[in-house]
Amino acid sequence: MHYATIKKHDIANGPGVRVSLFVSGCTHRCKGCFNREAWDFAYGQPFDESAANEVLDALAPDYIRGLSLLGGEPFEPQNQAALLPLIRRVKARYPGKSIWCYSGYDFEKDMLAGRLGDFAVTRELLSYIDYLVDGEFVEALKSPSLRFKGSSNQRIIDVQRSLAEDRVIRWEEDTVDEPERERN
């Protein structure tokens, strides 16, 4: 897997100050994508042990709320296998920090249906993700008033509650305080 960039102080891709890893490679090719260069699976640098350690070290300060995975497309099958060891390490070292993931794939139709390569890898990756922004970006549904998503068709899913209750549970800013839930 290659990655486009690691942002160590990101406030746009999940609540609070976060570390964001932008992976390379995406087959969705959404019209109006803000990160077209990352469609290429070879764009950027190889994601190696040095890059993994950079992410882990950047997560250390108390004011960092968590990690956000973006792209490109984190759930492309070849990216999942490379991300899984990192996500395991993040959760082991920083169990109180949340992981947000942005994907153009659909939670039920693609991820839970096993349509994205090795289902065991997909399922384990989902077991570590707290919140998933799913669905392709649709330029006609873009709105600057949307928080943490690009177009109104996208959903912010509370992955752990959804898996536990076997139904999609959406994160709603007005009803669920993600930071408070993390502390409890």
Amino acid at 38: A
User: Among residues 131, 27, 154, 132, which one has the least CA distance to residue 78?
Assistant: 27
* Model pTM score: 0.90
Provide the 3-class DSSP secondary structure of residue 99.
strand
Task: Classify residue 72 by burial, with Cβ atoms within 10 Å: 0-12, 13-18, 19+.
Answer: buried
Take residue 123 and report the two structure tokens written for it. 């399922």
pLDDT tens track for 33-82 = 677 777 788 999 999 999 999 999 999 999 999 999 998 999 999 999 99
Residue 81 to residues 47, 64, 67, 120, 151, Cα–Cα distance (Å) = 12, 25, 17, 10, 28
pLDDT at 173: 58
